[in-house]
Amino acid sequence: MLLKFEKIAKSYSKDRVILDQLDLEIKGGERVAIVGPSGSGKTTLLNLIGTLDRPDSGKMYFENQDLSVFTDLQLAAFRNEKIGFVFQMHHLLPQLTLLENILLPTLTDKKLQGKETHERARKLISRMGLAEVAHQKPSELSGGECQRTAVARALINRPGLILADEPTGALDQKSAFNLTDLLVELNKEEGVTLIVVTHSMDVASKMNRIYTLSEGKLITIE
């Protein structure tokens, strides 16, 4: 099991529970969609999965490791190695070129730098159809190009898991379809596990499994 959550609870205030005794199991290589109304706690859940936040109670296991024993510093290293993030807005650094943005997650670790990483970046850029714009800055790219750059950045360290929070939310329909297809192809080609939060049933229907977050728990739609 890649990920196992047991009775996870999370609140931001005493009078409102966001996640309530939530259970979740995800196997390596799965494609999972999480849908649900605005405010239901999807981003909250994704932040927990991404180890950006900790639960109030419950157990989180990643590759059978109990995450609660990790210090914040250990979690940061773990996250950088194992998890790639794609957000609704690409969060690229405006002063860097597309190529430099993609290489950013490799800068924290000497081991990750060098020829092999540059080769990986070059392959990803070509895979994403970005070769012609690799030396341009985000302000000189389209929304779809920025989002594809964000996907390449998420993949540069070969994470086992990609977390995407409404990755197509800011795109037109054609770019949204392209990005979703790209994510699905990467899941099939590289075996990367995909967890996508989305409001779009078009996006959700391309995953293997769809969960709805409702009243703090996940319900599967078979």
Q: Does 157 bind Mg ion (CB under 5 A)?
A: no
Side-chain-side CA neighbours of residue 187 (13 Å): 23
Rounded to a whole number of angstroms, the minimum distance from the CB of residue 49 to Mg ion is 13
**CA 21, chain centre distance (Å):** 23
Window of 14-22, 35-43, 74-82, 202-210 that interacts with Mg ion by CB under 5 A: 35-43
**Which of 67, 21, 65, 28 is closest to 48 using CA atoms?**
67
Rounded to a whole number of angstroms, the minimum distance from the CB of residue 132 to ligand ATP is 33
41 binds, among ligand ATP, Mg ion, none (CB under 5 to 8 A by kind): ligand ATP
Rounded to a whole number of angstroms, the minimum distance from the CB of residue 95 to Mg ion is 27
**Which of 23, 81, 31, 30 is closest to 48 using CA atoms?**
23
**Which of 17, 29, 183 is closest to 197 using CA atoms?**
183
In the window 41-70, what residues touch Mg ion (CB under 5 A)?
43
105 binds, among ligand ATP, Mg ion, none (CB under 5 to 8 A by kind): none
Is the CB of 33 or the CB of 124 nearer to ligand ATP? 33
Residues 6 or more apart whose CB falls under 8 angstroms from that of 70 comprise 51, 78
Contact footprint for Mg ion (CB under 5 A): 43
